[in-house]
């Protein structure tokens, strides 16, 4: 496996480069000398806008990439993704509900906690609707149902709210973005993402064993009930924690594991960390692209991800059509 040794260093180098690009690029381009000059505006842009934005891109991209790799491994299905399966929508619904009910104003942790609760309800519903041994088709349909309910819920709640910007808010949640986020957003989303990642990484053995199916995994001594709750909790935390801050950024968890698999092999545990790093790279890249596109107002990151991800999903479905049916 000597050819695979370069994969992680390369992915990390790409993330580093993109992070630098993400800090530099925008309506005002920051140069290397922003540190040296006595440029108060440049420094404010760097510390209060660009740096949080780049760091959030890394955290959220890693969360979505890891969540996707974990879901695919557990469900043994390359079409699984927190976005396509409606887990992200449920997280956004939870977050929106907490804002609408005024609970989010009580404490800064209420918002991410509500997002996490929504994501976990989504995971539990998904397991109930589709089960562990579900076919790809059942799973995708279950995800569609969940998404439909969550999106309708978000639109309903925001329409009922007294805010005059309700329509804009709906778009902001359904098509996520990283613009205008602060370090506070980073501080509330990072702890759940780290905790969820730890839970997911602790279930590596179960994910690998599931390569042999449910019976095969149990015969290898794996407690599948425990693995299920560990993963529901882990994916709920990473997705809920990230969506509560960025809104729904779809397809990252679908695209990244698929791109990483040829590089590191198909063993589910081997995919987890590279998918997290690859997710960070993809979200950073998308977030640089939205700033480079011409036009008066910045395009939402969720739009770019869907433009890349949806055709990708279609191609994947097309190549799998015999297995799916």
Partner 1 sequence: MKIDSRLRVADLTLERGERRILDSIGLQFAAGAVTAVLGPNGAGKSTLLACLAGLLHASHGNVDLDGAPLMSLAGDERARRIAFLPQIPEISWPVEVATLVALGRIPFRHRASDAENAAAVQRAMQATRTTQWSQRPVTTLSGGERARVLLARVLAGESDWILADEPFAGLDPAHQFEAADLLRSLAAQGHGVVLTIHDLALAARIADRVVILHRGRVVADGTPEEALTPTTLREVYGIEAQWLSVRERGTPLIAIHGRHAG
Smallest distance, partner 1 to C-beta of residue 169, A: 40
Task: Report, in Å, the least distance between residue 227 CB and partner 1.
Answer: 11
Site string for partner 1, 196-225 (x = CB under 8 A): ---------x--xxxxxxxxx-xxxxxx--
Nearer to partner 1, 3 or 33 (CB): 3
CB of 200 to partner 1, least distance (A): 17
For the chain, give the secondary structure using H, E and C.
CHHHCCHHHHHHHHHHHHHHHHHHCCCCCCCHHHCCCCCHHHHHHHHHHHHHHHHHHHHHHHHHHHHHHHHHHHHCCCCCCCCCCCHHHHHHHHHHHHHHCCHHHCCCCHHHHHHHHHHHHHHHHHHHHHCCCCCHHHHHHHHHHHHHHHHHHHHHHHHHCCCCCHHHHHHHHHCCCCCCCCHHHHHHHHHHHHHHHHHHHCCHHHHHHHHHHHHHHHHCCCCHHHHHHHHHHHHHHHHHHHHHHHCCCCCHHHHHHHHHHHHHCCCHHHHHHHHHHHHHHHHHHHHHHHHHCCCCCCCCHHHHHHHHHHHHHHHHHHHCHHHHC
| CB contact at 8 A, 267 and 49 | no
Residue holding tokens 């509900």? 97
Q: Which is nearer to partner 1, 12 or 263 (CB)?
A: 263
d(CA 312, CA 325): 19
Measure the CA–CA gap between 137 and 22, rounded to whole angstroms: 38
How many residues bind partner 1 (CB under 8 A)? The answer is 21
Asked if 267 touches partner 1 (CB under 8 A), the answer is yes
Q: For partner 1, give the closer residue by CB, 43 or 205.
A: 205
Shortest distance (Å) from residue 152 CB to partner 1: 33
Q: Is 184 in the site for partner 1 (CB under 8 A)?
A: no
Residue 96 or 273 with smaller CB distance to partner 1: 273
Q: Print the binding letters for residues 74-113 with partner 1: x by CB under 8 A, - otherwise.
A: --x-------------------------------------
Write the binding mask 28 to 67 for partner 1: x where contact by CB under 8 A, - elsewhere. ----------------------------------------
Rule CB under 8 A: is residue 8 a binding residue for partner 1?
no
Query: Which of 20, 220 has the CB closer to partner 1?
Result: 220
Residue 262: CB minimum distance to partner 1, A: 10
What are the two backbone dihedrals, phi and then psi, of residue 201, each rounded to the nearest 5 degrees? -65, -25
Q: How many CB atoms sit inside 10 A of residue 184's CB?
A: 11
C-beta closer to partner 1: residue 164 or 221: 221
Q: Quick one: which segment of 160-168, 178-186, 259-267, 306-314 binds partner 1 (CB under 8 A)?
A: 259-267
Please state the closest distance from residue 261 (CB atom) to partner 1, in A: 8
CB-nearer residue toward partner 1: 4 or 16? 4
Out of 266, 292, 293, 315, point to the residue binding partner 1 (CB under 8 A). Answer: 266
For partner 1, the closer of residues 131 and 265 by Cβ is 265
Q: Which residues bind partner 1 (CB under 8 A)?
A: 76, 205, 208-216, 218-223, 265-268
């Amino acid at each position: 496996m000597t050819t695979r040794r370069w994969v992680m260093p390369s992915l990390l180098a790409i993330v580093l480069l993109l992070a630098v690009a993400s800090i530099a690029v925008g309506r005002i381009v920051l140069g290397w000398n922003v540190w040296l000059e006595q440029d108060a505006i440049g420094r404010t842009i760097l510390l209060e806008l660009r740096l949080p934005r780049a760091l959030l891109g890394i955290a959220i991209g890693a969360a979505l990439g890891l969540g996707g790799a974990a879901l695919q491994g557990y469900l043994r299905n390359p079409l699984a993704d927190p976005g396509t399966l409606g887990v992200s929508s449920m997280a956004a619904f939870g977050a929106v509900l907490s804002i609408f009910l005024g609970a989010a104003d009580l404490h800064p942790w209420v918002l991410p906690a509500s997002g996490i609760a929504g994501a976990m309800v989504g995971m539990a519903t998904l397991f109930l609707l589709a089960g562990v041994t579900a076919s790809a088709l059942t799973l995708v349909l279950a995800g569609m149902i969940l998404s439909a309910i969550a999106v309708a819920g978000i639109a309903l709640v925001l329409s009922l709210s007294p805010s005059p910007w309700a329509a804009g808010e709906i778009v902001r949640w359904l098509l996520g973005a990283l613009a205008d986020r602060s370090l506070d957003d980073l501080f509330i989303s990072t702890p759940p993402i780290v905790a969820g990642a730890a839970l997911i990484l602790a279930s590596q053995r179960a994910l690998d064993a599931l390569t042999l199916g449910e019976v095969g995994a149990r015969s290898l001594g794996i407690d599948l009930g425990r693995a299920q709750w560990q993963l529901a909790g882990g994916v709920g935390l990473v997705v809920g924690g990230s969506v509560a801050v960025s809104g729904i950024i779809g397809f990252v968890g679908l695209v990244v594991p698929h791109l990483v698999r040829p590089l590191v092999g198909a063993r589910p545990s081997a995919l987890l960390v590279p998918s997290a790093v690859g997710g960070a790279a993809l979200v950073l890249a998308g977030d640089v692209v939205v700033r480079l596109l011409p036009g008066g107002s910045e395009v939402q990151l969720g739009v770019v991800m869907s433009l890349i991800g949806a055709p990708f999903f279609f191609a994947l479905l097309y190549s799998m059509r015999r297995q799916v049916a």
